């Protein structure tokens, strides 16, 4: 049976080339053959994170384990970390820290806003004793479709002359949106295999700065499976402390090659173009994204706020049941108030049109005050000539 693409913000569609690369015969991961798979994957991830300085670490796990590894390897129980809560993923990271016995200094921000740079700066400037050991930023809040200004947070930390680590969740941005690990002074970047890298789930992918590696020497948090030290010692000998996800790592090398062949800039531009078409559709429906302002718009996921009296969850449920198309539901505080359109990974303008058309059918089926074709036409107009459309908008 033929299958529709998915329009959820992860897991994303897997290109055949990557699926085939994951499907390899068993090898002995303690033999030199492993390094021939591993080394190109690591080199590729470094380029995609735009880092020369960081070490790349891959766990057979998911993004959540990446968060856990970031805090276990750099912090001690009782340490203070600074975080904003403005969506389900920033909330879950805070929860994870609290369960690890960290003292989380939480700045509450509306869902639909990004990480509050000015509030971070004030908190850091206040913290003369440097109690705050790490600042946590969710680069792309997948629940609300909001992009945060990581470079701005770095500048705020520098202005406050604060030495905390900058830990960034880039799970739904890395490989799809601008991400500059070295330039932004990110100490740990966390992502997973099943979003921008277009792989099946199963790899936590981390970039770790020299400063974070140094902090590790004094961090007292218990860790075994996710210990960077064990991993680095094994990597140095061309191996792993346990069984690596060899097929996924081979797929990761292929994914990096695909991204770099297309050109990272082009991949980022494609995501922006596809996202902009989605946003034009949303406005043509008479609706709006959950993200409060244009500079917060995510290029990988749009949370569409549904009209008063309607249920966003039903849009996704009906699209799945009737049309066999996956859209995302709202999470946490915005459950029911939005449905989400994922537009990252292996997608084209034309594939996106089918997702928009399906969302329209589902909304019309549910009695939304929307005209069939209105959003699709707005996106078509944009995709026909994105440069022209941008120029008209600027005039």
Q: Which residues contribute to the site for ligand PLP (CB under 6 A)?
A: 10, 62-64, 89, 138, 140, 142, 169, 171-172, 192
Contacts 24+ apart (CB under 8 A), 313-322: 313/339, 314/366, 315/339, 315/359, 315/362, 315/363, 315/366, 316/340, 316/362, 318/362, 318/365, 318/366, 319/358, 319/359, 319/361, 319/362, 322/361, 322/362, 322/365
Shortest distance (Å) from residue 206 CB to ligand PLP: 12
How many Å apart are CA 205 and CA 264, to the nearest integer?
18
Sheet harboring 80-85: ordered strands across? 55-59, 204-208, 188-192, 165-169, 132-138, 80-85, 103-108
Shorter beta-carbon distance to ligand PLP: residue 177 or 246: 177
Shortest distance (Å) from residue 356 CB to ligand PLP: 21
Contacts of 25 (CB under 8 A, 6+ apart): none
How many Å apart are CA 321 and CA 82, to the nearest integer?
42
Shorter beta-carbon distance to ligand PLP: residue 83 or 318: 83
Shorter beta-carbon distance to ligand PLP: residue 10 or 207: 10
Residue 241 backbone dihedrals phi, psi, to 5 degrees: -75, -15
Shortest distance (Å) from residue 148 CB to ligand PLP: 10
**Are residues 352 and 343 in contact, defined by beta-carbon separation less than 8 angstroms?**
yes
Shortest distance (Å) from residue 65 CB to ligand PLP: 7
Closest chain position to ligand PLP (CB): 63
Shorter beta-carbon distance to ligand PLP: residue 50 or 340: 340
Helix (H) or strand (E) holding 107: strand 103-108
DSSP state of 196: T
**Are residues 314 and 292 in contact, defined by beta-carbon separation less than 8 angstroms?**
no
Shortest distance (Å) from residue 13 CB to ligand PLP: 15
- Angle 90-94-98 from CA coordinates, rounded to 5°: 170
Shortest distance (Å) from residue 61 CB to ligand PLP: 8
Shorter beta-carbon distance to ligand PLP: residue 172 or 209: 172
Shorter beta-carbon distance to ligand PLP: residue 62 or 368: 62
Residue 387 CB-density burial (10 A; 0-12 exposed, 13-18 middle, 19+ buried)? exposed
Shorter beta-carbon distance to ligand PLP: residue 190 or 282: 190
Shortest distance (Å) from residue 143 CB to ligand PLP: 8
Shorter beta-carbon distance to ligand PLP: residue 197 or 235: 197
- Angle 215-218-222 from CA coordinates, rounded to 5°: 105
Shortest distance (Å) from residue 60 CB to ligand PLP: 12
């Amino acid at each position: 049976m033929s299958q529709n693409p998915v329009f959820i913000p992860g897991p994303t569609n897997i290109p055949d080339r990557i699926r085939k690369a994951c499907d390899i015969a068993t090898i002995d991961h303690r033999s030199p053959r492993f390094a021939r798979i591993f080394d190109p994957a690591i080199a590729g991830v470094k380029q995609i994170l735009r880092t020369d300085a960081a070490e790349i670490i891959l766990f057979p796990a998911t993004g959540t384990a990446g968060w856990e590894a970031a805090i276990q390897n750099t912090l001690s129980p009782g340490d203070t970390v600074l975080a904003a809560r403005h969506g389900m993923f920033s909330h879950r990271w805070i929860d994870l820290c609290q369960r690890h016995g960290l003292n989380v200094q939480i700045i509450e921000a509306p869902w639909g806003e990004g990480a509050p740079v000015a509030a971070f700066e004030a908190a850091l400037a206040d913290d003369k004793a440097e109690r705050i050991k790490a600042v946590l930023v969710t680069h792309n809040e997948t629940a609300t479709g909001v992009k945060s200004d990581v470079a701005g947070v770095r500048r705020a930390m520098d202005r406050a002359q604060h030495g905390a680590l900058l830990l960034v969740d880039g799970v739904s941005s890395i490989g799809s949106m601008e991400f500059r690990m070295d330039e932004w002074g990110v100490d740990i970047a966390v992502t997973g295999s099943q979003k921008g890298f277009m792989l099946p789930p199963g790899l936590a992918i981390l970039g770790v700065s020299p400063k974070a590696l140094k902090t590790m020497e004094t961090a007292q948090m218990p860790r075994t499976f996710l210990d960077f030290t064990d991993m680095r010692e094994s990597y140095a000998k061309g191996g792993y402390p346990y069984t690596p996800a060899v097929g996924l790592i081979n797929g990761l090398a292929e994914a990096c090659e695909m991204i770099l062949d297309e050109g990272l800039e082009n991949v980022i531009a494609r995501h922006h173009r596809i996202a902009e078409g989605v946003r034009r559709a949303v406005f043509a429906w008479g609706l709006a994204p959950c993200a409060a302002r244009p500079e917060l718009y995510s290029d990988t996921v749009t949370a569409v706020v549904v009209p008063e009296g309607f249920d966003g969850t039903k849009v996704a449920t009906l699209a799945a049941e009737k049309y066999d198309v996956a859209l995302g539901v709202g999470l946490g505080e915005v459950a029911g108030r939005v449905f989400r359109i994922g537009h990252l990974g292996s997608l084209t303008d034309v594939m996106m049109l089918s997702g928009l058309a399906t969302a329209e059918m589902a909304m019309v089926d549910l009695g939304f005050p929307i005209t069939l074709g209105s959003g699709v036409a707005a996106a078509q107009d944009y995709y026909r000539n994105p440069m022209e459309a941008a120029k008209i908008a600027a005039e």
